[in-house]
């Protein structure tokens, strides 16, 4: 049996700009120039959203920190 953890949480809006910080949006514009794109936004319970970026080669992923930093060795598991 699978437990659904998303019950009661509103869906992530398709306009990610409403949940990302200004610094994250700026960083996203920069990393896009190097082949990265926003893959999805992960939310754990009601904590802050974690934007996950993926490189075009699909071998590398990272997260955009709230301060706009790019963490290429995040402590999260990604299913591809």
Q: Which residue has the higher pLDDT, 11 or 60?
A: 60
Cβ contact 24:51 at 8 Å:
yes
Average pLDDT, the chain: 83
pLDDT number for residue 46: 65
Say what the pTM is. 0.77
Q: Is 20 part of a structural domain of the chain?
A: yes
Q: Is 25 part of a structural domain of the chain?
A: yes
- Which position has the token pair 């319970």? 45
> Which pLDDT band holds residue 3 (cuts at 50, 70, 90)?
low
Total domains present in the chain: 1
Q: Is 76 part of a structural domain of the chain?
A: no
Q: How far apart are CA 53 and CA 63, in angstroms?
A: 6
Q: Is 35 part of a structural domain of the chain?
A: yes
**Residues near 25 by beta carbon (within 8 Å), at least 6 away in sequence:** 17
Q: For residue range 28-49, what is the model confidence (pLDDT) as tens digits? A: 999 999 999 998 888 776 677 8
Q: Is 2 part of a structural domain of the chain?
A: no
Burial class (CB in 10 A: 0-12, 13-18, 19+), 41: middle
Q: Is 8 part of a structural domain of the chain?
A: no
Domain of 56, in residue numbers: 16-71
Q: Is 1 part of a structural domain of the chain?
A: no
**1 pLDDT more than 60:** no
């Amino acid at each position: 049996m699978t437990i659904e953890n998303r019950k009661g949480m509103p869906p992530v809006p398709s306009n990610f700009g409403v949940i990302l910080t200004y610094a994250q949006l700026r960083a996203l514009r920069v990393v896009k120039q190097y082949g990265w794109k926003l893959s999805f936004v992960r939310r754990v319970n009601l904590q802050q959203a974690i934007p996950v970026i993926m490189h075009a080669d699909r071998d590398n992923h990272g997260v955009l920190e709230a301060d706009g930093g790019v963490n290429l060795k995040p402590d999260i598991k990604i299913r591809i």
